[in-house]
């Protein structure tokens, strides 16, 4: 966990030092309203490329999990609509499960995901919206296999 926190800190510092952008914003913070519900921080590392870090939570009957993750996203402008881009990418995530029926039982799973989505930055407001689908392969924990139900509508406040 300490290595993850160190890596996350280094990535955030790198993002703050970055100044190149043509997306209408350099970084944004907000919520991923989907599967799972998550806090999101997205920042551009170059003109078309961004990193999104998120920390999610999902509560279910019988179990719940915490879901930290990171994605590399490559953006392509849609010239017919100012502020609209589509993106593709991929990333990795962890699933830290706990179970209601067994308080001492916990499990860990690792996921590798793809990403495809749309990203929109309002011209006259510090708001960014995106919608995406994250097909995921999960390894370990109580479930291993393909998960096609990950994705979200994200609403973020643009920081700069």
55-92, pLDDT tens digit by residue? 999 988 888 889 999 999 999 999 999 999 999 999 99
As a whole number of angstroms, the distance between CA 4 and CA 1 comes to 5
As a whole number of angstroms, the distance between CA 29 and CA 159 comes to 7
pLDDT at 157: 98
Number of domains in the chain: 1
Of 97, 7, 98, which Cα lies nearest the Cα of 53?
7
Q: What residues make up the domain containing 107?
A: 2-158
pLDDT at 77: 96
pTM of the full structure:
0.81
Q: Are strands 63-77 and 136-140 parallel, antiparallel or unpaired?
A: unpaired
For residue 3, give the 3-state DSSP assignment. helix
Tell me the two tokens of residue 25: 């914003």
Q: What is the pLDDT of residues 13-29, one digit of tens each?
A: 444 433 333 468 999 99
Q: What is the pLDDT of residues 130-159, one digit of tens each?
A: 999 999 999 987 678 998 888 999 999 999
> For position 75, which CATH number holds?
2.40.160.20
As a whole number of angstroms, the distance between CA 95 and CA 107 comes to 8
Contacts of 122 (CB under 8 A, 6+ apart): 83, 128, 129
């Amino acid at each position: 966990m300490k290595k993850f926190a160190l890596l996350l800190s280094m990535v955030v510092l790198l993002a703050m030092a970055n100044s190149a952008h043509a997306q209408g914003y350099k970084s944004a913070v907000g919520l991923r309203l989907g599967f799972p519900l998550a806090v999101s921080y997205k920042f551009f590392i170059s003109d078309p490329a961004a990193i999104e870090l998120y920390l999610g939570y999902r509560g279910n009957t019988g179990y719940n999990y915490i879901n930290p993750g990171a994605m590399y996203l490559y953006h392509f402008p849609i010239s017919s609509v100012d502020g609209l881009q589509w993106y593709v990418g991929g990333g990795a995530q962890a699933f830290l499960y706990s179970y209601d029926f067994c308080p001492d039982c916990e499990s860990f799973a690792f996921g590798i995901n793809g990403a495809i989505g749309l990203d929109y930055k309002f011209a006259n407001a510090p708001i960014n919206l995106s919608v995406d689908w994250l097909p995921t392969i999960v390894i370990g924990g109580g479930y291993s296999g393909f998960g096609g139900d990950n994705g979200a509508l994200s609403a973020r406040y643009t920081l700069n």
